Chain A
Amino acid sequence: MSESRFIKYIEGESIIHNLDPRAKIIFVFSILFSLTISLSIILLIPLLIISFLFYLLAKLPFKKTITTWKFILLIIVVLSMLNLLTISILYKHGGNVIFGIFGLAITDEMIRRAIFPVIKLLSLAIVTITLVFTTPPKLYAPALGQMYIPYKLAYIIQLAFRYIPEYIAEMQKTLEAQMARGFKPKGGKNPLAKILSIVPLIVPVTISAALSIYDIADAMELRGFGEKKNHTWYRKLNFNRKDISLIILSILIILFYILSYFYLNFPY
């Protein structure tokens, strides 16, 4: 049910797979930054194309990504577009009338307001899923640690990635165990009863996880974690020419979008 939905590393030998995770993280942040500051649809289109190229270069098998794509298209394109369109129709904005339905005048401004965030979300989703699909989770902490981020912070992320699949599996197991005892996940129409019906599901997983914190902390302290200020990483990452060119590309994208923020104005 949920396991097919969440995004996991897919093994591969493409260019994107072989890039240094640090270069990929910098690239994703450059796209994210540019998306955040760009103000017109015309400026968003190149970013969408770059993100899609980034995805295509990873050569991910379509069979393994299809559930993610379905989810992204459903959530981002259909749901949020309808939402935004409803909102922009409810709160009237000016603009030129294009056509009318049921006595409502649809203006170009309304459509712009509905499409603009959707393009942002879509291109952001494409770069992020490419990063997650092509980077093994065990490389996030070494990558962040070697980007001059404090190693304790890198370890928090490492721990989180280590335990997420475990807790999702535990959740599934607890759900099945409680259902075997006659538990129904959807408790009627009363919203309060619905929330309370989830309690038997949440409590066992949370409490056992919270108690395991002390065991994990003991195990780490016994190995001397946190004693020294410096930390070396078992996996030493090295930039090669492709990584450096990706970083240069990211810097160019950021510079271009900063300049465009001040000097370029488009009607849409």
Chain B
Amino acid sequence: MVEKREFLSVTSIVAMGIGTALYAAFNVFFNIFQLPGTQLVALRPSVAIPMFFGFVFGPIVGFVAGFLGNIISDAISWGGFWWNWDVGNGLLGLIPGLAIFLIKKEATSKSKGLILCSILSIIASIIGMGFAAYTDYIFGYGISTIEEATYALFLPAAITDAVNGAIITPILVAAYSAAVKGRARRA
């Protein structure tokens, strides 16, 4: 039987739901760590979750996991909603998902794939947090000069997310590919 590749298969819908739930749960859990001197930018190891889901299940799954996960975790941990930070978090998941256009599916768990995953996580952190911080500046959400946006929002968020993502995401990908081996149905 030839499997039909759907744009939104049931597996990717479930992956989006589970990714969203995991990201939101981890965000709520790790919101305890807060860096001093920055605006509501927590030290978040949870950024690895949308990156991992993007890298393994594709860019759209990664985007939805980051976007919805951030909306829900903000809503249930302190009641906030900032669309630009949500889109920025979505980009954290979308960009590692672009790996499917750069590398073969089989190679993603080899060392080449893991290095690519690390690099894409860093790029994703820079673009995603850059988008969020500079839209804050453009729309004037409490930030009015470009230096404020850079030093108070962009750099702390992008650096912590890049370090966390670049270290934790490849570990997750390697662990996942080891766990999924031998199972009947694979990604």
Q: Interface of A with B (CB < 8 Å)?
A: 1-2, 5-8, 32, 36, 68, 71-72, 75-76, 79-80, 83-84, 86-87, 91, 93, 113, 116-117, 120-121, 124-129, 131-132, 152, 155-168, 171, 191-192, 195-196, 198-199, 202-203, 205-207, 209-214, 216-218, 220-221, 225-226
Interface centre among B26, B56, B164, B167 (most CB of A within 10 A): B26
- 28 A-B pairs whose Cβ atoms sit less than 8 Å apart in the complex: A2-B31, A6-B76, A7-B77, A8-B76, A36-B139, A83-B39, A87-B143, A113-B144, A120-B141, A124-B79, A125-B80, A128-B75, A128-B79, A132-B79, A156-B64, A157-B68, A163-B25, A164-B25, A171-B29, A199-B171, A206-B172, A207-B176, A209-B18, A210-B52, A211-B180, A211-B183, A213-B18, A226-B9
Q: Are A160 and B39 in contact (CB under 8 A)?
A: no
Q: Is the interface of A mostly helix, strand, loop or mixed?
A: helix
B117 → A minimal CB distance (Å): 14
Q: Which of B13, B21, B53, B148 contacts A167 (CB 8 A)?
A: B21
Q: Known contacts A155-B17, A164-B24, A195-B167; is A72 also within 8 Å of B79 by CB?
A: yes
A86–B39 Cα gap in the complex (Å)?
11
Please report whether the interface of chain B is mostly helix, strand, loop or mixed according to DSSP: helix
A160:B77 contact, CB within 8 angstroms: no
Q: Which residues of A contact B52 (CB under 8 A)?
A: 206, 210
Instruction: List chain B residues, Cβ under 8 A from A129.
Output: 78-79
Contact among A6, A152, A163, A195 for B45, CB-based, below 8 A: A195
Q: How far is the CB of A95 from chain B (nearest CB, A)?
A: 12
**Which chain B residues border A79 with CB–CB below 8 Å?**
34, 40
CA distance A118 to B145 in the complex (A): 18
Beyond A202-B172, A214-B185, whether A152 also contacts B148 by CB under 8 A is no
CA of A83 to CA of B156 in the docked complex: distance in angstroms?
A: 14
In the complex, A113→B143 CA distance in Å?
8
C-alpha gap A33/B13 in the complex (Å): 29
Q: What residue of chain A has the Cβ atom nearest to residue B20's Cβ? A: A160
A202 touches B176 (CB 8 A): no
Could you tell me how many residues of chain B have their Cβ less than 8 Å away from some Cβ of chain A? 64
Q: CB within 8 A of A216: which of B18, B39, B152?
A: B18
Q: Does B32 lie within 8 Å of A84, measured CB to CB?
A: no
- Give the total number of A-B pairs whose CB atoms are below 8 A apart: 199
Tell me if B24 and A160 are in contact (CB < 8 A).
yes
Do residues A195 and B163 form an inter-chain contact, with CB atoms below 8 A? Answer: yes
Residue interface mask B151-186, A partner, CB < 8 A = 1: 010000000000110011001100110011001010
Contact flags (1/0) for B6-28 with A, using CB distance below 8 Å?
Answer: 00111101111110111011101
* Least distance between B100 CB and chain A CB atoms (Å): 17
Which chain A positions have C-beta within 8 A of B180?
A: 211
- Residue from A6, A167, A216 within 8 A of B14 (CB atoms): A216
How far, in whole Å, are A260 and B142 apart by their CA atoms in the complex?
Answer: 20
Nearest B residue to A163 via CB reads B21
The residue that B22 contacts in the complex, of A120, A155, A206, with Cβ under 8 A, is A206
B10 and A225 contacting across the interface, CB-CB below 8 Å: yes
The reply to whether B14 and A213 form a contact with Cβ atoms under 8 Å apart is: yes
Closest A residue to B185 by beta carbon equals: A214
Q: How far is the CB of A56 from chain B (nearest CB, A)?
A: 16
B81 and A124 contacting across the interface, CB-CB below 8 Å: yes
User: Given A91-B144, A120-B142, A220-B14, 6 other A-B contacts at CB below 8 A?
Assistant: A117-B141, A124-B80, A126-B79, A199-B168, A206-B176, A210-B18
